[in-house]
Structure formats: C-alpha cells, structure tokens
Amino acid sequence: MNPLDPMIKTNDPRLTDYVLGELAPAEAAQIEAALKSSPQLRAAVADIRQATQTIANVFETESSLQLAPEQRTKLLAEAESVSEPGSAANTDVHSLADNVTTLADNVTTLADNVTPTVAGEHYRPSAGSTAHWIKIAVAAGLAGLLLGVGAYYSADSERPSIAASDEPMLAADSVDDGTEESELQSKDHLGFNADADSQVEQRAIKKLKASKPMSKTDGVADQAIPLAVKDAESAKLNGHLMQSLSANQPGSAPQSPSRPPLVADSFGDAMPPTFREEFPKTRSRADAGNAIHSLAEAPAESKYHRRSSALPNVEGKKAEAKKIESKFTSNLASNPAMLSKAQQSLDQSRLRSLNLKVVAQNSPSQSRQSIDQIGGDFHDSGADERLPIAAAAKPLAQGDTMKNELTKRSPNASLPVTFKLQISDQNAKRMVQLLASQADPLQQRKLSFEELIGLQKSPQVASANSAGESYAELMDESYIDDAGRLKMEMDSPPRADTLPKKSPSAPQTAAALLASELREHLRRPLSRNNSIAAYRGLKKQNVETQNVETLQDLGGSIDSDSASASDSPMDKSSTVSGKSTPENQSSVRSQDAKQKLPAIKLNNELSSGEFNFEYSQVIQQLKSNLEIRNQAVPLSKQSPARLPVAP
C-alpha cells in the first residue's frame, strides 16, 4: 500500500500501464513517486514487468507464419499492378477522383467565363482542398446545365416531324411526357417571356397552387397544375441561365436586363422556322400571364382542351380533331362487329378495374359487412344472368364499394344484389368439422351456419343441377380457402322474378336448416379423403368409435370388412349402407338412442367413396359447442328425434 497515495494498490491496473509505458507523464510521475516509498508496489511492478517480458518472449518465440507461395505471388502481382497506370486497380475512387478533377479543370475554364467576377475579379480557386471541391462542385453543376441545354438542342433538331408537320397541337400534346425538353417547348409555345420579377407570373403561379385539388381519377386535370407551374418556374430558371450564358458569349448582342433571352433566342436559326412561326415569342408578359391563367381555368376534359384553350391557332385544330372523332364514331356505329368489339373491350377494361378493386380488399369480416350493407340475401340467380365478373369469381370487397360498382355496372338492377356462396363437398365437410370442433371460427367469420348452408340449399342450385348443368361447375368454388378465409362469388343482381320464394314448408330455424343440410349433404357421395376428414373431425369431438384407428391408419382402402374385423363393437344394425333413406336413418337414430354409439358405415365400394354417418351424432356435438346466431329456436331445446327428415 502506498502511504502517499492510498488509491494505488499492488493490483492497480495503472501499474500494468506504467510497466507497458501507456501512462500519461503525470500519472507515470505519480506512480514513480509511489514506487519510491512503497516496496510492495516496487515488487508488484517488478513482478508485472517480468510477466510482461515473459509473455512478450512467448509471443516472439512463436514460429513465424507465412502465406502460401501462390498467395504471396498473387499479392505481389497485385501490388505491382497497383503501380501500373491504367490497371484495374486504378479504377478505384482515387482514379475516379482524378477523372473528376480533370473534368473540373476542363470545365473550370468555361466556368471562369460564365462566372464573370467575384468582387470585381475573376474567380480563381485557391490550392486548398475546400476551394478544390468548390471548384469541382461548380464545374459539375455547370457541366450538368450545359449538358441539359445540349440535350435540348439535339432533341429539338432531331424532331423535324413535329416542327415540319405544322402540327402545333401535337407538339403541345407532347408536353405531357414530362421530359425536360417538352417542358421547355411548352414554355416556348406559350410565348412565355420569363422574368423573375414578373408579378403576372407570380400571381398566376399562386393561383395555380391555390386552386382546388383535382380528382385523382382525372389524370389530365391532375397534371395540369404542376405542369403549368413547372412551365413558369422552368422558364424563370432558364431565363436566368441563358442570361448568364449569353453575357459571356463573344460578339453577342447586349441583352436588356429586363428581358432575359429565351432558349430559342440563344439557338437562333437552329430553331425550326415553322416552330418559330407557329409560336411567336412576341407576347408581352401580360399575355404570358393570361396564357397561364387560361391554363389554370381551362376545362379538364382532355389535354387537347387544356392546351387548345391556352395556345394560339388551336381552334382549327380542335375542329379538326372533333371531325376525326365524329368520323371514327360514325364508322364504329356502322360496323357492328367493331362496335361490339369496342364495347367488349370497354367492358373488359371496366371489369379489370372492378376486379382490382374487389381483390384489393377482402377479408371475411369485410365480406360479411358487404352483405350486410347491401342487405342482400343469398340467392343464386342462375347462370344466364351472370355478369362477366362472375367468371373471375373474385372475393367481395367492402360493401359500399361493391354496391357502387354494381350499381354503376347495372344501373337498372335493383338491390339487394345477389351473391352466391359456393361450397364444395370437401369444404362443406370441413365446415362441419370446424363448426363441430369449435365455435370460434364461426364467430370470427360472423356468418351464421344457417346462412351458410342456406346457400347450399338454394333452389337455383338445385334447378341448375337438375337442368343438367354441371354441379361441379356451380359448386367447385371453395368458399373456405386454404387460409381459412371465406370466399364468395358475386353473381348478377337479382330480378324480381328470379328471387327465390320461400316455401312455407321450408325449414326456418337454424336447427332445422342445420339438420336438413346435414342430411342432404351427407347423403351426397363423398370422396374417400373427405370421408376420412369428416371422420377425424368426429373423433376430435370425442365420438368414441372403434374403427377410428382403422380409419386413421388408412393408407389405402377402408371397407366394411376391415371395420368389422377391427373388433368393433359397433352394431351393424346401427349403420347405414349406401345412401341413407329416411327409413334407415330412423332406424339408426333409434339404435343410437339405445347404444349411444355413432353410426358410421363405410361402403364396401371405396372407389365410389360413398358413406354415410349419422347426422344426429354430429348435431349432438354441435349442440354442445355451437353458437348459432339468429336462431329462432335454440338447438339445445331440440332433440334429434324432432328434427325434420329430408325428403
């Protein structure tokens, strides 16, 4: 312990720093003073010094390592290539910087001419780094401006068709491409005499900027304001640029400070004569301002109108365009094929836009919301009434959007709009599983079960089916997709005569609908996979059956033999073979009531994939799990024996 400095201990890191010479002089002096008075510190320092020396020796005695010979050769070659001018290694930042510097030096000569004086003397950048970069920045900026002017010059000279065709309207229309030359050209069309201090311009720009925003769908009107503003501003900028450029042109005529030259003035004869004649630059500033006002106030039906109202000599062109348009219309009317094709194309374009909107927004809740807002009932209005969008079969969008679109497409259609929910056997089965397994999916979808299966029972589907139309065509669209979301297909708006009439004998309650639907559905032939899936769904509901394992272990076939051979206590009398009938279903129910066993029977012919299971068991499970909205009679108050039997 150092008596002079109690903070210094034998394990103080500063001792190591002192030994290694890493301490500041002041601290080193403090340590040395402490060492003189403390033998412990001296011993500690000696110990550290010895340890560091040992460690250093250890590292020094490490065998020296070398790169592999080929690596060393490659490195040395690379090092040599660095020193060679024009090598690949020279194409780095430094060489690029050298190139920029060279360019800057070249352009600085021009910059010295363009930038006349700084405080009465020519600007000479100093040798300092700041001045160097300033020089580069100024030179690059000027080079960019000159390149832009050159591009305009070259583009204009390569555009004889516009100028020589004596079509100022086409030239004006080309402004909308948004390019720099087109902007400059549009400025020139207006005869815009740029002046930074022009109050007329400023007033016009303010008016344009303060004007109400256009509709997004009106693309032409949407472009009008920024384009006109750009015209004015670019003209202003260009005026200053050309003023500064022309001030140093040898032999150039002195320019009035109140009238900076336009681009066309600078290029003189390079401007096509027809161009100059068509757009004389003799307009006053007031005229230019009025032209901008006309731009802002021009009707926004088309860029044709927008331009024609502001440009000179356009009335004749406008009449000509209208003549062409009327001629095209008359030709179209006289050619039914062309007309239908045009109409079809128009429909397709609308259809695409509609589909885009429909697809853009889709969720089960939104679909439900759509139906609620439209107030639609679920019907099928038949294939004949399908709109083209039915082929696309896109999910519904939000109700208001869909309602508007449908109204727009079919203005004579009366709401509620008809939607058709299509369900496949597989998805119906999955739906039963979901409903039986948990009520949450039902609540999430906010679609009651009776609503869903009510669609399945729509008479139109049945009639279409009986009329020979492919049932699969109508029903193969899943409305529960892979992600578990509800999908619906929009169909045509209903007509009054196509609306289904509810039969007084039709089941009205949710329970009755459920029972009838299940009965109807389960009588349909199912695929083997669906059968297995349905059965597994039943098993999830703790429906104890003895052949569950047999079914789950199915890789291949299931038949009644295998079911009975699996020591199943299931009473064969409780099963229904083949398609169920009211008679044998009643028998099943009576047997189930006694044995409390599910009745599942796999058909012998698995190739047909036909099987039946007792719907009462499913209902039993649903009763305990489901919450069906808007049900007239709670399921719990109904017994399976009271359920209506399907015809």
- Least separation in angstroms between residue 139's CB and another protein is 23
Rounded Cα gap, residues 414 and 418, in angstroms: 10
- Under DSSP, the state recorded for 419 is E
Q: Which of 29, 46, 94, 122 binds another protein (CB under 8 A)?
A: 94
| Strand blocks (E) in 469-596 | 489-490
Are 560 and 603 in contact by the 8 Å Cβ rule? The answer is: yes
Strand segments, DSSP code E, in 497-566 are: none
Query: Which letter does DSSP use for residue 301 in this model?
Result: S
Smallest distance from another protein to CB 8, Å: 13
| Residue closer to another protein, measured from CB, 98 or 218 | 98
Q: Which is nearer to another protein, 84 or 105 (CB)?
A: 84
Of 97 and 342, CB closest to another protein: 97
Least distance (Å) from another protein to the CB of residue 64? 3
Interatomic CA distance for residues 182 and 355, integer angstroms: 36
Instruction: Reduce the DSSP state of residue 313 to 3 states and report it.
Output: coil
* Size of the residue set binding another protein (CB under 8 A): 42
**Judged by CB under 8 A, which of 9, 28, 33, 89 binds another protein?**
89
Q: Which stretch binds another protein (CB under 8 A): 73-81, 118-126, 523-531, 623-631?
A: 73-81
Angle between helices 39-60 and 13-20 (to 10 degrees): 60
Q: Could you say whether residue 79 binds another protein (CB under 8 A)?
A: yes
Beta strand 419-420 with 489-490 is antiparallel
Stretch that binds another protein, among 74-82, 154-162, 166-174, 540-548 (CB under 8 A): 74-82
In this chain, which stretch among 81-89, 250-258, 312-320, 458-466 interacts with another protein, using CB under 8 A?
Answer: 81-89
Dihedral (CA of 204, 209, 210, 212) sign: positive
By C-beta, is 30 or 584 nearer to another protein?
Answer: 30
34/406 with CB nearer another protein? 34
Member of 78, 277, 561, 583 binding another protein (CB under 8 A): 78
State which of positions 24-63 bind another protein (CB under 8 A). 47-48, 51-52, 54-63
Which region, judged by CB under 8 A, interacts with another protein, from 66-74, 247-255, 492-500, 519-527? 66-74
* Contact flag: residue 132 with another protein (CB under 8 A): no
Please tell me the distance from the alpha carbon of residue 634 to that of residue 205, in angstroms, as a whole number. Answer: 70
CA quadruple 154, 159, 160, 165: dihedral, nearest 10: -150
N-terminal to C-terminal alpha carbon distance within the chain: 106
Minimum CB separation from another protein for residue 73, in Å?
11
Partners of 480 in beta bridges = 486
Closest approach, Cβ 23 to another protein, in A, equals 9
Closest CB 2 distance from another protein, rounded Å: 17
Which residue, 54 or 109, is less far from another protein as judged by CB? 54
DSSP type of residue 395: P
Q: How many CA atoms lie within 13 A of 2 on its CB side?
A: 23
Q: Give the CB-side neighbour count of residue 216, counting CA atoms within 13 A.
A: 0
Residue 234 near residue 183 (C-beta atoms within 8 A): yes
**Which residue is associated with the tokens 């201990």?**
9
Least CB distance from residue 108 to another protein, whole Å?
Answer: 24
Q: Quick check: 462 and 506 in contact, CB under 8 A? A: no
Q: How far is the CB of 131 from another protein (least distance, A)?
A: 20
Identify the residue among 72, 122, 209, 341 touching another protein (CB under 8 A). 72
If one asks whether residue 440 binds another protein (CB under 8 A), the answer comes out as no
For residue 98, state whether it binds another protein (rule: CB under 8 A): no
Please state, in angstroms and rounded to a whole number, the distance separating the CA atoms of residues 598 and 540. Answer: 13
Closer to another protein by CB, 79 or 641: give it.
79
**Dihedrals φ, ψ of 20, to 5°?**
-85, 0
| Residue 71 interacting with another protein (CB under 8 A) | yes
Residue in 36, 40, 43, 84 binding another protein, rule: CB under 8 A: 84
What backbone phi and psi angles, to 5 degrees, belong to 295? -60, -45
Q: Which run of H or of E encompasses 420?
A: strand 419-420
Q: How far is the CB of 24 from another protein (least distance, A)?
A: 11
CB of 133 to another protein, least distance (A): 17
Q: How far is the CB of 127 from another protein (least distance, A)?
A: 17
- What minimum distance in Å lies between the beta carbon of 95 and another protein? 10
Return the number of the residue (96 or 360) whose C-beta is nearest another protein: 96
Of 61 and 215, CB closest to another protein: 61
Residue 140: CB minimum distance to another protein, A: 23
Q: What's the closest the beta carbon of residue 135 comes to another protein, in angstroms?
A: 21
b (16+ CB within 10 A) / e for 359-376: eeebebebbbbbbeebeb
The span from the CA of 527 to the CA of 524, in Å, is 10
Phi and psi at 206, nearest 5°, equal -60, -40
Give me the helix-helix angle, 315-334 and 336-360, nearest 10°: 100
Site string for another protein, 185-224 (x = CB under 8 A): ----------------------------------------
| The one among 29, 43, 46, 76 contacting another protein by CB under 8 A | 76
What single letter denotes the amino acid at residue 328?
A: F
Return d(Cα 619, Cα 642) in angstroms, integer: 12
Minimum CB distance to another protein, residue 51 (Å): 5
Q: Is 242 in contact with 198 (CB distance < 8 Å)?
A: no
With contacts defined by CB under 8 A, name the span among 14-22, 500-508, 583-591, 601-609 that binds another protein: 14-22
Taking CB under 8 A as the criterion, the residue among 4, 27, 40, 74 binding another protein is 74
Residue 270 near another protein by CB under 8 A: no
Q: Does 472 bind another protein (CB under 8 A)?
A: no
Q: How far is CA 334 from CA 83, 338, 343, 496, 532, in A?
A: 79, 9, 14, 36, 62
Chain contacts with another protein (rule: CB under 8 A)? 11, 13-17, 20, 22, 47-48, 51-52, 54-68, 71-72, 74-76, 78-84, 89, 92, 94
